[in-house]
Amino acid sequence: MQQKLYFPYIGQRILKTSVAVFLCLVFYYLRGYRGETMSAEAAITAIICMQPYVHDTGEYALNRISGTLIGAAWGFLFLWIVPLFPSITGIPLYALMGVGILISLYSAVVIRKPDTSSLAAIVFICVVIVYPDVEHPLDQAFHRVLDVLVGTCIAIAVNVFRLPRAKRRDQVFFVRTKDLAPNQLSQIPSVVLFRLNYLYNDGAKICLISEHAPAFFISQMNSLHLSVPMIVMDGAGIYDAAENTYLATFGMTPEASGWLMNQLSNMGVSYFIYTVNKNRNYIYHHGTMSPEEQIVFQRWKRSPYRQYLDDDTFDPKEIVYIKIVAKEDKAERIWRGIKDTLPGKGLRAVLRPQAGLERGSGLYFYAEEANVQQAENWLMMRMREKEPQLRAKEVFSSKGYRSEHDAVHLMRTLSSQYEPVAFPARRG
């Protein structure tokens, strides 16, 4: 199968690096440098120092300057001492250059800046490689240091500069967790969590939408300063992670759940019953547990955010959804055999791959009105009671999660929609 050509998003680091190199070249052009005399060291330094975040640029800049000073110092000493021994030429001369590289690397380690060692060696060889065609060793070392400082300063200035942006605090952004991680057993990439936290702390209103109960993601959510409740269980619940509270659940009616459990029992199918009582998930199991169900049960039974109970003493009014765990072919047969009768009973079914179960599926049954759109409407109505101007904005991935790059790209899209560039309005 031929892969479609994919053009990734051009990030700010790419754009800023290009601008920084351009400014370095312009700086030397205005000073009269052309062609062979044009300094590449400043441009190379700008490329190395440019990082995604200003803090990282500053750290790289300090390392670059430290390494440059070490390499330039040893290079100057080399160019000052070696001419005193004009008989040293050819292979012995290059052997001394190798020793100089060793000393430059070791010096960086001695002063506890090992990250600067390679930079020190590069600057040293750039300074001494022109020997014996150098008349003023001090000038040679000085200009190398100057080139690095120019590139460093330009990189920092470009990275710090930001176009004016308008923060969209009047919008509630809805983001699906399935666009941030491949499944409920996977960790959301740390760079994505970092960016989410930055947006939350900056005042962005972001509602995360999960197909699963809060327990699947709550351990990761603990590292986030969630300012907006989550939509969980594919729209069957709204959960405030900050308060560990369910604001609402949209469960089955006792009549609908009773009919469904009777149908499944007649088909000889075992199932899990998910309920919410006093802000806690209680899961009951009906029937003889299959090997596939045992795998799911063993994985989640120790979760502190949910509790499995082996009895049928639940209140039918607390049932949020019912789930079947089985091999793909069996789950699909059950779904096909019952799906046409569900709408008349006020129910809907969703068939999904079961994470952690080879060729396994989860068949979920919800109340028909328990869906993400219904939950979004409920949450927006609740939030508009305090802020009537709020508007809903969905930021979804059309291709879903395929790699960490997709999640990072989605965060960039979210950031650009929360903080669009605010160009001055033209006056008529």
Tell me, what's the pLDDT at 421? 66
Indicate whether 302 pLDDT > 70: no
Indicate whether 427 pLDDT > 50: no
Distance (Å) of CA 226 to CA 206, 223, 229, 240, 282? 8, 9, 7, 8, 24
Tell me, what's the pLDDT at 198? 87
- From the CB of residue 156, how many other CB atoms can be counted at a distance below 10 Å? 19
Tell me, what's the pLDDT at 119? 80
Side chain identity at residue 179, one-letter code: D
Residue 425 pLDDT level (bands cut at 50, 70, 90)? very low
Residue 41 pLDDT level (bands cut at 50, 70, 90)? confident
Tell me, what's the pLDDT at 53? 60
Tell me, what's the pLDDT at 83? 86
Highest mean pLDDT among 66-75, 112-121, 214-223, 329-338: 329-338
Which of 40-54, 259-273, 328-342 shows the lowest mean pLDDT across its residues? 40-54
Tell me, what's the pLDDT at 132? 77
Residue 34 pLDDT level (bands cut at 50, 70, 90)? confident
Tell me, what's the pLDDT at 56? 59
**What DSSP designation does 163 have?**
-
**What DSSP designation does 206 have?**
E
Rg (CA), the chain: 31
Angle at 311 between CA 310 and CA 313, to 5 degrees: 140
**What DSSP designation does 421 have?**
B
Which of 197-211, 287-301, 322-336 shows the lowest mean pLDDT across its residues? 287-301
Contacts of residues 111-115 at CB distance under 8 Å and 24 or more positions apart, as own/partner, are: 111/66, 111/70, 113/63, 113/66, 113/67, 115/63
Read off the tokens for 382: 């609740």
Cα–Cα nearest to 159, from 245, 252, 268, 48: 48
pLDDT per residue as tens digits for the range 135-154: 776 777 788 778 888 888 88
Highest mean pLDDT among 29-33, 39-43, 350-354, 395-399: 350-354
pLDDT per residue as tens digits for the range 353-368: 998 888 899 999 999 9
pTM, 2 dp: 0.66
Q: 325-354 burial by CB neighbour count: b if 16+ within 10 A, else e? A: bbbeebbeebbeebeeebeebbbbbebbeb
State the average pLDDT over residues 180-191. Answer: 82
Q: Which residue has the higher pLDDT, 99 or 186?
A: 99
| CB contact at 8 A, 246 and 279 | yes
State the average pLDDT over residues 219-238. Answer: 85
Tell me, what's the pLDDT at 125? 86
Percent of the chain with pLDDT over 70: 87
pLDDT per residue as tens digits for the range 44-94: 878 877 876 665 566 777 777 888 889 889 988 998 898 888 888 889 999
Indicate whether 115 pLDDT > 90: no
Read off the tokens for 298: 């063993």
Indicate whether 300 pLDDT > 80: no
Q: What are phi and psi of 426, to 5 degrees?
A: -75, 140
Indicate whether 340 pLDDT > 70: yes
State the average pLDDT over residues 111-128. Answer: 85
Indicate whether 304 pLDDT > 70: no
